[in-house]
Structure 1
Amino acid sequence: MNRRFLAGARSGFRTFLPLSIGLIPWALVTGVALTSGGLSVVEAMGMNLMVYAGVAQIATLPLIMGGAPLWLIGLTGLALNLRFLIFSAAIARGFRGMPLRLRIPSGYLLIDGVFALCTERLLKVHDRHWRFGYFVAPSVWGWVLWQVFVLTGVLGAGALPQGWSLEFMATIALMMILVPLSKNRSMLVAALTGGVASVLLRDIPLKLGVIVAILLGIVAGFVASRALAEHKEA
């Protein structure tokens, strides 16, 4: 750790801190859902550590509990996490000059909120130590916050009043993440396409409509990104 790394870490932490509060209800809901789905504390936290993606965990949990085919569970988790492939490609330039031993755990720590808030500035700074600190501080903070409150939800699931409507709080948390992402036109196109498609395809068996909607959103976002790039060059 040098002064440039610490300066970047402080700046990244301050940038992400307000949005990170939105992770708390989403983590609580995930913890409650894992326990309600029949998982033990060890199973729930093991899944949480390995997957580290709340949307994928909650979406695949009913399939796991219902005895769905393994291929469908895997496909659902893969489709829901495909956005991280796009995020990683978009933010990759910020890790130029960093060794593989740092890039691999950084991929595991990458979350929507950090990508939405930190990518633009990360790609503009030339100092690789500052860039890494700017990324890793909010990412580690988000990971710790997520693990702590998922565990809180797992342990306290039975004590939470049924009328608290934590699911609605989780929706608000996801909207807080979506708003910064929607500043990018291609991301907005992807979100609108995926959202509309998920509603239109909601009656497809085995919840495959969600997977199709995600793929359509990704394709639409990619096409929009290419079209915007070509328009700028013209």
Structure 2
Amino acid sequence: MKPLPYWQHPDFRRGVRDMLATAPGQAAWGLVTGVAMVDSGLPVPLALLMSLTVYAGSAQLAVLPLLVSGAAPWVIWLTALCVNLRFVVFSASWRPFFRHYPLGQRALAGYMAGDIGFVLFMRHFASGQPAAADAPRDSLPYFWGSSWTGYLAWHIPSLIGIALAGSVPTTWNLGFAGTLALVALACSLVGSPATWLAAAAAGTVSVLAVSLPYKLNIVLAIAAAVAVGVTMEKRRGE
């Protein structure tokens, strides 16, 4: 039987549907990031390049103050690395599903990977849900369906934010609205006591250490979340 093209696969459509449920929050965050890049003093061409190549909203916002203040390159790179270390864990979890695909497909999947896409994917495949009745189970169609939907939900508003940055009144408080949208999304995706404790630890440390320079409170928050999560997993396995 000839395999279905990805876009015709039932799991591709399911991935699109699952990601669409989170699209409003992603769109709000993308718009905020686009506006923030230009309002921080980044030239529009550089903001466009950064948006289209980096594709990591948290890392973009973390390094923006460093870029504007003229921080040392190693500080900028280290900050972005620490913020994105979670993708190492994501990749290890995805490996059993994707290791038999060609390198090119895996490399593109790595670029398209996102936090919400990871959570949706693992819920869909690691939870033992049955395959679609009219097609064999295949992990990549679902991944592409959710990832491309998330990619567009992020980038289109981000580019709009870059284009309209100068005309968006500060009284709209888009930054606060985008943060609230992300908090709501994060809470809906946290589903176990271990992840709740890790999230609480990260939030607490981030607030307590907010006065540290170079956004080091983010680095400490990540370390706290990882430490709590690992400790909880070890205790559960004992």
TM normalised by structure 1 equals 0.89
Q: Is the 8 A contact 1:83 1:218 kept in 2?
A: no
Report the CA distance between 1:96 and its aligned residue: 4.1
For residue 51 of structure 1, the aligned residue among 39, 50, 54 is 54
Report what 1:160 is aligned to: 168
Q: Which whole-Å CA distance do the structure 2 matches of 1:134 and 1:63 have between them?
A: 37
For residue 151 of structure 2, the aligned residue among 119, 143, 154 is 143
Report what 1:41 is aligned to: 44
Q: Is the 8 A contact 1:28 1:153 kept in 2?
A: yes
Q: Is the 8 A contact 2:27 2:157 kept in 1?
A: yes
Structure number with the higher helix fraction is 1
Distance 1:175 1:33, change over 3 A: same
Q: Which whole-Å CA distance do the structure 2 matches of 1:203 and 1:40 have between them?
A: 28
Q: Which whole-Å CA distance do the structure 2 matches of 1:85 and 1:128 have between them?
A: 29
Distance 1:225 1:100, change over 3 A: farther
Correspondence 1:190 to 2:236: no
Report what 2:93 is aligned to: 90
Distance 1:80 1:143, change over 3 A: same
Report what 1:3 is aligned to: 4
Q: Which whole-Å CA distance do the structure 1 matches of 2:154 and 2:18 have between them?
A: 18
Correspondence 1:16 to 2:24: no
Residue correspondence of structure 1 range 214-225 to structure 2 within 5 A: 214-225=222-233
Report what 1:178 is aligned to: 186
After superposition, what is the alpha-carbon deviation per residue over 1:30-57, rounded to whole angstroms, capped at 9, x for unaligned? 0101111222222111111222111111
Report the CA distance between 1:85 and its aligned residue: 1.5
Q: Is the 8 A contact 1:15 1:118 kept in 2?
A: no
After superposition, what is the alpha-carbon deviation per residue over 1:74-122, rounded to whole angstroms, capped at 9, x for unaligned? 1111111111222222233222422222111111111111112221222
Look up the SS of the partner of 2:138 in the other structure.
helix
Aligned-residue sequence identity (percent) comes to: 35
Report what 2:218 is aligned to: 210
Query: Of the two structures, which has the highest relative contact order with CA contacts closer than 8 Å and spacing of 6 or more?
Result: 2
TM normalised by structure 2 equals 0.88
Q: Which whole-Å CA distance do the structure 1 matches of 2:173 and 2:39 have between them?
A: 15
**Cα RMSD, aligned residues only:** 2.1
One-letter code of the match for 2:165?
A: A
Q: Which whole-Å CA distance do the structure 2 matches of 1:87 and 1:179 have between them?
A: 19
Q: Gaps spanning 5+ residues in structure 2: where? A: none
Q: How many residues are paired up? A: 230
Correspondence 1:112 to 2:120: no
Q: Which whole-Å CA distance do the structure 2 matches of 1:22 and 1:202 have between them?
A: 24
Correspondence 1:103 to 2:106: yes
Q: Between 164-173 and 27-36, report the one with greater CA deviation.
A: 164-173
Q: Which whole-Å CA distance do the structure 1 matches of 2:40 and 2:108 have between them?
A: 29
One-letter code of the match for 1:65?
A: V
Report the CA distance between 1:136 and its aligned residue: 0.9
Q: Return structure 1 stretches of 4+ with deviation > 4 angstroms.
A: 125-129
Q: Is the 8 A contact 2:113 2:147 kept in 1?
A: yes
For residue 68 of structure 1, the aligned residue among 55, 68, 71 is 71
After superposition, what is the alpha-carbon deviation per residue over 1:111-157, rounded to whole angstroms, capped at 9, x for unaligned? 11111222122234688862111111110111122221111000011
Q: Is the 8 A contact 2:42 2:68 kept in 1?
A: no
Look up the SS of the partner of 2:41 in the other structure.
coil
Q: Which whole-Å CA distance do the structure 2 matches of 1:215 and 1:176 have between them?
A: 23
